[in-house]
Structure 1
Amino acid sequence: MSGSASPGHDPLTDRAAALLHELDSHKSDEPRLAEPMERLVARIIDACVWLAAGTLWSIAGFYLDAWYFPDPVRQVADPSGTLTWQRVESVAPAVAWGTFIGLILTVFAIEAIPTARTGCHFAKRRLRLRVVGPDGRPPGFRRTTIRWAVCWLPLAIVFSLWSMTLGSGAGFLFMAAQFGAAAIPGALFLTEDHRGFHDRIAGTTVLAER
């Protein structure tokens, strides 16, 4: 009989196949908004790169300080009150600030410059994430610089001030300020479009390409 199902044939199989075909037809290759956890993983990778760069700059600073800024020798009183000459270990301010600025510029070079040109750098490229401007293209140097500076400079400055005031009342103040600075990129966990304050100020969005 025409149109009848063959013996043993389950009509549900045809319906399931048609549904799968319809779902496939709705698939899109368009990028989607990057999830907060994807961006967090990218930042963890970045932190490893920054740690390596910081270690290299610390080694360079150690040798520069030892070669060009010898530690001063001063008279120090021992517990019995006897004055003795001892070498006081210290880091020259020029070396400390030079290594700090060098690290900041290194991080900027390996993260911001590639992002401005292509929309991604090492970590984001590994996770197939891309930063775009309002037009969907790479954000360019101006937007990328604003985004990078708003995101990381407050945290870096507050961390440096905390390190220099460690053990004092001001140290606790700057330690508390770090949480405020961390809220700038952390805001992406609280917004529907997964954009932190740095993204909103710079007019950028992070997409995931799948």
Structure 2
Amino acid sequence: MREIALDSGARLELATVGRRIGAEVLDGVLVTAAGFTVATVTAGSVVGDIILFLFVLGLLAYRIGTVALWGQNIGKAAVGIEVVRLDGRRPGWGRSTIRWAVATLPLGIPVVGFIYLVAWFIALATHEHRRGWHDLVAGTAVVRKMESQRPYLGPA
């Protein structure tokens, strides 16, 4: 069991790489299914394009907002992990947005995105505290969700 010491001195159990990947796979399946459904139902019309645009905005709100407010989305909750700041609090909107942008935006660049993904996985798997670049930049860590292991420190 690997742990990370927070700024407060409390120690939390780090999420395993397998749990982190499992959370992303679960979220990916949910988002893909929802996106496919929305695209299929709304295809070929101006109203459909507007609905698809609103879906993408909702997806951003989901990916950033759930982590900002609760430290986890559906995938992370299902595998029992959460994102915390290094002081133990929820990430908040700023850190959550930075974390999402560093993790996601490079993936949209052809070829570079694949190389980035492989390098990110290697960095995540080899970092002492299993922190990816997005965690390092945002000042966050992904830990096992166990309310009993830490006191409530208030909102972000």
TM range (shorter): 0.7 to 0.9
Equivalent residue number for residue 179 of structure 1: 114
Once residues 98 and 125 of structure 2 are traced to their aligned partners in structure 1, the CA distance between those partners, rounded to angstroms, is 20
Query: Which of 106, 113, 129 is matched with 2:65 structurally?
Result: 113
Listed as ranges, the matches of 1:4-23 within 5 Å are none
- Supply the AA of the counterpart residue of 1:141: W
Change (3 A) 1:177 1:201: same
1:192 aligns to what SS in structure 2?
A: coil
Give the deviation of 1:103 after TM superposition. 4.6
Give the deviation of 1:107 after TM superposition. 2.2
Equivalent residue number for residue 84 of structure 2: 132
Listed as ranges, the matches of 1:13-92 within 5 Å are 31-64=12-45
Change (3 A) 1:98 1:109: same
Give the deviation of 1:102 after TM superposition. 4.2
Equivalent residue number for residue 142 of structure 1: 94
Once residues 202 and 61 of structure 1 are traced to their aligned partners in structure 2, the CA distance between those partners, rounded to angstroms, is 36
RMSD: 2.4
Equivalent residue number for residue 153 of structure 2: none
Give the deviation of 1:200 after TM superposition. 0.6
State the aligned residue count.
135
Q: Is the 8 A contact 1:120 1:129 kept in 2?
A: yes
- Supply the AA of the counterpart residue of 1:105: L
- Supply the AA of the counterpart residue of 1:144: S
Change (3 A) 1:102 1:60: farther
Query: Which of 109, 134, 148 is matched with 1:198 structurally?
Result: 134
Give the deviation of 1:132 after TM superposition. 0.4
TM-score when scaled to structure 1?
A: 0.57
Once residues 103 and 182 of structure 1 are traced to their aligned partners in structure 2, the CA distance between those partners, rounded to angstroms, is 25
**Percent of paired sites with the same residue:** 31
Once residues 116 and 42 of structure 2 are traced to their aligned partners in structure 1, the CA distance between those partners, rounded to angstroms, is 27
Once residues 103 and 152 of structure 1 are traced to their aligned partners in structure 2, the CA distance between those partners, rounded to angstroms, is 17
TM-score when scaled to structure 2?
A: 0.75
Equivalent residue number for residue 79 of structure 1: none
Give the deviation of 1:119 after TM superposition. 0.9
What stretches of structure 1 of length at least 5 have no aligned partner?
Answer: 1-29, 69-94, 159-173
* Structure number with higher relative contact order (C-alpha < 8 Å, ≥ 6 residues apart): 2
Query: Which of 139, 142, 153 is matched with 2:105 structurally?
Result: 153
Once residues 51 and 124 of structure 2 are traced to their aligned partners in structure 1, the CA distance between those partners, rounded to angstroms, is 33
